[in-house]
Structure 1
Amino acid sequence: MIKRPALGLNRKDAIMIGALLACFVLNCTVNLIHGASSRYYEEPSRYLLAVGALLAILGCRPLVKFWWVGLIIGASSAGVYALIQVLMEHRERAFGLMNPIQFGNLSILMSGLCLAGLGWAKRQSCSGYWVLALAAAATLGILASVLSGARGGWLAFPAIVLILFFNLRSHLPRRVLYTSCATALAFLAALYLIPQTGVQERVNRGAVETAQYLSGKSVGRSVGLRLEMWRSASTLIDEKPLAGWGEEGYIEPMMQRIDDSKVREGVSRFSHVHNDVLDVSVKRGVLGLLALLIIYTVPLALFCSEALRMKRSQVEAKAFAMSGIILVVSVVLFGLTQAFLRHNSGVTLYAFMLVAAWGYMRCAQQREVGEAYA
């Protein structure tokens, strides 16, 4: 007879599970109101399935090394594949097996998560190999993001550095901490100053396109199209505030608010408005926005509260708390210029990595309590 594993759930576990279920229920409610087809239940189903994944992690307690090895493989393969696409296949931008923006966002996220493991790696046997592997993987992930040209994802990297600095300042020697931060800043400066990376050109182009849009001269490129979509979509929100216009119902009225035919043609290629908050607000109204805010703020508050109360000796649990904070903050920042959670890759990664980070952290805490009383 197979014995059911003890989950050891506490109040914060219940809050995390409640947030996932609330997001699922609210989004399904909106779909029912609009009579949406079954394919629009695929996204919210991730949050329901994530509850099962969380319970499985808490019950089975997988090896911690699985998480870090997976991140090392993911970030490293992204960087290698990006180099192949740009240097050997002569692609203008690296895109992996998806669009360049999503590829770049996921790459820099995995880099940040690798960096969150450096404190844990220092405490392991063969620590030098772990540190080298995580640092190399993080560098390759950042390189993949640079080669993707996904400017929106670059907003996350300074936030990741600040999160790491704040959380690791009491766990690592000051010399190591300040040297690492200086190295990261120097690396970012080099990426911008060396023209061959393309970073400077894309940043400058974004600034020019924004200025052109604000002056009314041109809106037909990447930044201009986003700004026009945000303007026109925002005018629709107050007309159907509760449940929004539906997944497709907003398109025609939004197009009617765009005067330039070339801009309408450019906007028509997209099924979202390149901003998670605005996209959810116009499609799903207050109910959808509430679901999004719950799945952002509740996990972030839980991870932050755990990180702040952890002792200096809780290095393993701290690494996963940092991973959770980096995950949520990065996804929020990605969502400023891309509907990150509208993509299968985005919502799947967010939901399951969220519960994985929480589950691994809770398992680490339980082990540390057991060791303290051993």
Structure 2
Amino acid sequence: MKDKICSFFILLPFIWLSTGMLILKNGDKTMVAMVVISIVATLYSYGTSSIKQNLSNKMLWLVIVIAGYTIFSYTYHGLSSRELRAILASLLFLLFLPSQLITQNRLVIFVVLGSVVSSIYAWYYSVYLGLGRSWPINPIPYSTLIASFAIMSLGLVISHDKKRVKALTLFAFLFCCYALILGETRGIWLAILMALVIITCYSMIKFYRPKYWLYLGAFILLICTVGVIVKPQIEQRVTQTEREYKAIQSGNLCTSIGLRLQMWQAASILVEDNPILGLGDSHLKKIDELYKQKRISKCLYDNQPPHYHNQYLDRFVKNGAIGAILLIALLLLPLSKLKQKTITQQYFLLGTISVFAVASLTDVPLNHGQTLFMYFFYIIGVGCLPLLKENVIHD
């Protein structure tokens, strides 16, 4: 009983990520307290023995480097304190986390719980209250969280050997698909579709079996069924996209898509000012200068973009080439030893990284506290654990 209580407190950050952080607007701030509780519980139960084991994980050293450069950037020219707080809290949690507590049964609980809570949240505000996309939490990064839970649910459907767990995680996946459509975030729709294509191709190549074609057909049928249920939301978003496209053709770049195009163009100009270390918070002053020079439009200037709706360009502008290289490393290095991981880890890595990599084309998921915790906990903490025996990760 004592061990179960200690394990609960040690894994409290994972539990909070699947519950409270999906409900509270500032849930990522509360996560810091959860990490502190987890570390205290770990020290009480295991002492510092887990630190040595975790430091053998090369990806953790990358997080240490990223944390160090983020502190430097924050001190040198200013950056978001929320981003810094999430990175440091994640680093400390992963440093102390006893990896033997991560089992597939617990992952099923975390992922299904997160899928259900996030889906109910989307339904409550979009349908029950009739607020559309006016959620207390920004619907764009929130949709990234939903997409991550969706793709991990799908990974568990494929990798788990128990039929009841397959059924449970399949329903979790469908709930998330429904919630994603309610979120009406086009960039995340593209991200989840690309992740599904990548997961399907990977499964066909690595574990070729005729039944995967049946799985693929069943998934397509189920997703289409969900699409029919929320057909009005899809049609509304498609119609809006057509209107914006026509507006851009006529020279009006002050639409949602048009502003993104302008942001990308402005970012390509701003990187020239400090290509190595970036501009930090001073990028907004440079926006003012570009407007005075009549190099950007008034609607973009009035928007005063806190970021540039592209993670790669945004990181280049604010953190320079060093920050951009570290970003690419964070997305690609976890895949370098994919074949050495368990099946569950492989799907978590491939699917979630695909979601974040594609979502980063139109948003900045790694600038937000909630999505940063999601990425670090599941990619570094679960996907890149030191090689575990199959019966441990599969419980």
Q: TM-score when scaled to structure 1? A: 0.81
Q: Which secondary structure state, in structure 2, belongs to the residue aligned with residue 273 of structure 1?
A: coil
Aligned to 1:151, which of 176, 179, 186? 186
Question: Residue type of the partner of 2:60?
Answer: I
Q: Which secondary structure state, in structure 1, belongs to the residue aligned with residue 314 of structure 2?
A: helix
Contact 2:288 2:301 in 1 (8 A): no
| Distance in 1, Cα, partners of 2:314 & 2:63 | 20
Contact 2:266 2:296 in 1 (8 A): no
2:288 is equivalent to residue 252 of structure 1: yes
2:219 equivalent in structure 1? 184
2:372 is equivalent to residue 347 of structure 1: yes
Give the CA deviation at 1:353.
1.9
| Distance in 2, Cα, partners of 1:161 & 1:187 | 13
1:46–1:90 CA distance, 2 compared to 1 (3 A):
closer
2:319 equivalent in structure 1? 284
Farther-moved stretch of structure 1 (185-194 vs 286-295)? 185-194
Q: Which secondary structure state, in structure 1, belongs to the residue aligned with residue 381 of structure 2?
A: helix
* Runs of 5+ unmatched residues, structure 2: 1-43
| Distance in 2, Cα, partners of 1:364 & 1:46 | 30
Aligned to 1:137, which of 172, 176, 180? 172
| Distance in 2, Cα, partners of 1:94 & 1:361 | 41
Question: Residue type of the partner of 2:299?
Answer: K
Question: Residue type of the partner of 1:244?
Answer: G
2:30 equivalent in structure 1? none
| Distance in 2, Cα, partners of 1:101 & 1:19 | 27
1:111 equivalent in structure 2? 150
Say how many residue pairs are matched. 346
2:301 equivalent in structure 1? 264
The equivalences for 1:1-374 within 5 A come to: 5=49, 9=53, 13-34=56-77, 36=78, 40-93=80-133, 95=135, 97-121=136-160, 123=161, 127-169=162-204, 171=207, 173-175=209-211, 177-189=212-224, 196-213=231-248, 215=249, 217-250=251-284, 251-256=287-292, 257=294, 259-265=296-302, 267-268=303-304, 270-302=305-337, 304-306=338-340, 317-358=342-383, 362-365=387-390, 367=392
Q: Which secondary structure state, in structure 2, belongs to the residue aligned with residue 299 of structure 1?
A: helix
| Distance in 2, Cα, partners of 1:147 & 1:94 | 11
Give the CA deviation at 1:115.
0.6
| Distance in 1, Cα, partners of 2:366 & 2:309 | 10
Give the CA deviation at 1:149.
0.3
Structure 1 vs Structure 2: percent identity of aligned residues? 18
Question: Residue type of the partner of 1:20?
Answer: V
| Distance in 1, Cα, partners of 2:327 & 2:222 | 34
1:2–1:68 CA distance, 2 compared to 1 (3 A):
closer
Aligned Cα root-mean-square deviation (Å): 3.0
| Distance in 2, Cα, partners of 1:294 & 1:228 | 27
1:76–1:331 CA distance, 2 compared to 1 (3 A):
same
| Distance in 1, Cα, partners of 2:50 & 2:282 | 45
Question: Residue type of the partner of 1:301?
Answer: S
Contact 1:321 1:357 in 2 (8 A): no
Q: TM-score when scaled to structure 2? A: 0.77
Question: Residue type of the partner of 2:281?
Answer: E
Contact 2:334 2:384 in 1 (8 A): no
| Distance in 1, Cα, partners of 2:58 & 2:259 | 39
1:289-344 deviation per Cα after TM superposition (whole angstroms, max 9, x unaligned) = 12212211212323x3435xxxxxxxxx2112210121212111111111111111
| Distance in 2, Cα, partners of 1:208 & 1:154 | 19
* Runs of 5+ unmatched residues, structure 1: 308-316
Give the CA deviation at 1:365.
4.7
Question: Residue type of the partner of 1:114?
Answer: S
Contact 1:24 1:45 in 2 (8 A): no
1:14–1:60 CA distance, 2 compared to 1 (3 A):
closer
